[in-house]
Chains A and B, each alone.
Chain A
Amino acid sequence: GENVEQHPSTLSVQEGDSAVIKCTYSDSASNYFPWYKQELGKGPQLIIDIRSNVGEKKDQRIAVTLNKTAKHFSLHITETQPEDSAVYFCAAFANAGGTSYGKLTFGQGTILTVHP
């Protein structure tokens, strides 16, 4: 099955700096890669996603890059703000054996702390 590794496990930055979180995946059939933000006591919330036919996607201060050959993808947050502090999860979606459905496999999470 799919295995997703995420690094670093914790990341501390000063407000205004950039933050980068990296993930690798094992299943070359994975074709959709969402990133979720989880705040304390809440469920994960989608912040950005990328599909396997695209190399990069940007949404304001957040960008995601995908390298299918190397099987890794990264989240970039620029001009970080204290409210960006949360746990961030990457995930990979793979279809189940020729079907149109599949499941997400999550990384272990990165605790991001942005200091004012």
Chain B
Amino acid sequence: QSVLTQPPSASGTPGQRVTISCFGSSSNIGSKTVNWYQHLPGAAPRLLIYSNDQRPSGVPDRFSGSKSGTSASLAISGLQSEDEADYYCAAWDGSLNGFYVFGTGTKVTVL
């Protein structure tokens, strides 16, 4: 079963910009929109970005998403200590009878 590929880790100092990549295929990212989730330790995962680049209400504009072809990116500008978390990309995959697929996850560390 396919999975979206992310780098295992990313880091930056407070105030820096961090970018996380997400690689998929034509059956998922290439033809469907991408969503991003933030997972803080001990908390429920939180929707961060939907439909490639849309922020739900309450999500700071420091977070932005983009998509090109079969890959997507999440950017965190003005990195803050509370941004230290795991980040997952996700998309619907249209192969087989259709299923939802998540990325492998990226741990963001604020140095």
Say if A and B assemble together: no
